[in-house]
């Protein structure tokens, strides 16, 4: 689910958009996001929050590796499918799936990892506020991983030729976190070959920002 307009839409608008999106897709967790795997695979499992969990590929991958995961999405279809997938694979005890419109509510608890993978939406959302709340939900030594689109994939729902993708440095500046409490570990724009629906491939850019809460 990022938009910059000031007005927050009526809840039904955004929820209906993402409901239609996930209902039109086949159920199944799919692959985890590559930059999540790259960032997390060497970490000791703890508690994780998956913001905008979507089809659940990241949630299931984390649970398989021993993480206790809270998976949230505005789409109840997505949330129900992630919960069912976790139960089917025997990871139900490690996955809590909740429906949240992050413009209005945020899951409770503190976490060793918060993952915000491509938290973009065609509707207005106070993304800076959401991500600051996510940073505040980190335990000391916990990490917030923000991966944004840095280019438009051919299969993206957003084919706006004028779309602007803020750099990791710009995202960090917008969050305005106290550098004495939150440390930027990574801020770069790697490119990779991605595979979309139907096996179509393209070179895309990801904007990556990794922040750690001090005090571990």
Report how far residue 71's alpha carbon sits from residue 78's, in angstroms, rounded to the nearest whole number. Answer: 10
Tell me which DSSP letter residue 166 carries. -
What domains are there in the chain, each with its CATH number? 11-213 (3.40.50.150)
What's the pLDDT band for 5 if we cut at 50, 70, 90?
A: very low
79-102 pLDDT, tens digit per residue, is: 999 999 999 999 999 999 999 999
Q: What is the pLDDT of residue 197?
A: 74
Neighbouring CB atoms inside 10 A of 71's CB total 29
Report how far residue 38's alpha carbon sits from residue 14's, in angstroms, rounded to the nearest whole number. Answer: 31
Among 26-30, 46-50, 56-60, 156-160, the range scoring the smallest mean pLDDT is 26-30
| Average pLDDT rounded to a whole number, residues 119-139 | 91
What's the pLDDT band for 73 if we cut at 50, 70, 90?
A: very high
Give the angle subtended at the CA of 185 by the CAs of 180 and 188, to the nearest 5°.
130
Examine the pLDDT at 39 and tell me if it is beyond 90: yes
C-alpha pair distances (Å), 37 with each of 42, 87, 117, 128, 159: 9, 22, 12, 24, 27
- Sign, CA torsion 129/134/137/138: negative
Among 13-27, 56-70, 85-99, 142-156, the range scoring the smallest mean pLDDT is 13-27
- Token pair for residue 12? 């039904």
Examine the pLDDT at 44 and tell me if it is beyond 70: yes
């Amino acid at each position: 689910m990022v938009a910059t307009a000031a007005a927050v839409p009526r809840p039904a608008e955004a929820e209906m958009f993402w409901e239609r999106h996930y209902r039109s897709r086949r159920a199944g967790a799919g692959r985890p996001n590559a930059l999540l795997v790259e960032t997390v695979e060497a970490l000791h499992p703890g508690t994780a929050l998956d913001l905008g969990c979507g089809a659940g590929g990241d949630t299931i991958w984390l649970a398989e590796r021993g993480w206790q995961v809270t998976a949230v999405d505005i789409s109840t279809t997505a949330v129900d499918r992630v919960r069912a997938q976790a139960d089917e694979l025997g990871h139900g005890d490690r996955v809590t799936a909740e429906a949240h419109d992050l413009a209005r509510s945020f899951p409770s608890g503190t976490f060793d990892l918060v993952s915000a993978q491509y938290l973009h939406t065609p509707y207005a959302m106070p993304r800076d506020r959401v991500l600051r709340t996510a940073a505040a939900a980190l335990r000391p030594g916990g990490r917030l991983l923000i991966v944004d689109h840095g280019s438009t994939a051919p299969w993206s729902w957003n084919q706006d030729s004028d779309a602007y993708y803020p750099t990791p440095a710009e995202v960090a500046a917008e969050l305005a976190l106290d550098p004495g409490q939150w440390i930027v570990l990574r801020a770069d724009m790697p490119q990779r070959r991605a595979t979309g629906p139907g096996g179509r491939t393209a070179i895309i850019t990801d904007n990556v920002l990794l922040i750690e809460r001090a005090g571990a």
